[in-house]
Amino acid sequence: KQEVTQIPAALSVPEGENLVLNCSFTDSAIYNLQWFRQDPGKGLTSLLLIQSSQREQTSGRLNASLDKSSGRSTLYIAASQPGDSATYLCAASGNTPLVFGKGTRLSVIA
């Protein structure tokens, strides 16, 4: 059974810092690793999807990497801004629907 873990559970950084969020999964037989953002009281917004055959994906200031063999993914956020404050969730899918980590709650302080 797939299990997804995210570390740290919460992170507070000053504006402008680069930061890394970590995600690990127990079953490497995945097809996709997807990163989401959730603002308080809102649904999930898809940020990036990395296919199992890929090593990384980039969108603007976001870069997600995948090391399938070691069961790890990272989300790198460059030059963080207060508007980046949210909970970031990673989720892995294989032959079953997405399995989610519990998220990292990010606060970017102006």
Partner 1 sequence: GAGVSQSPSNKVTEKGKDVELRCDPISGHTALYWYRQSLGQGLEFLIYFQGNSAPDKSGLPSDRFSAERTGGSVSTLTIQRTQQEDSAVYLCASSKNPVGGLGNTIYFGEGSWLTVV
For 14-77, give the secondary structure using H, E and C: ECCCCEEEEEEECCCCCCEEEEEEECCCCCEEEEEEEECCCCEEEECCEEEEEECCCCEEEEEE
Which two three-digit tokens encode residue 60? 């603007």
Query: Where in 15-34 is the site for partner 1 (CB under 8 A)?
Result: 31-32, 34
- Residue 104 as a binder of partner 1 (CB under 8 A): the answer is no
Among 40, 69, 95, 110, binds partner 1 (CB under 8 A): 95
Q: Which stretch binds partner 1 (CB under 8 A): 11-19, 41-49, 64-72, 74-82?
A: 41-49
Among 12, 18, 26, 46, binds partner 1 (CB under 8 A): 46
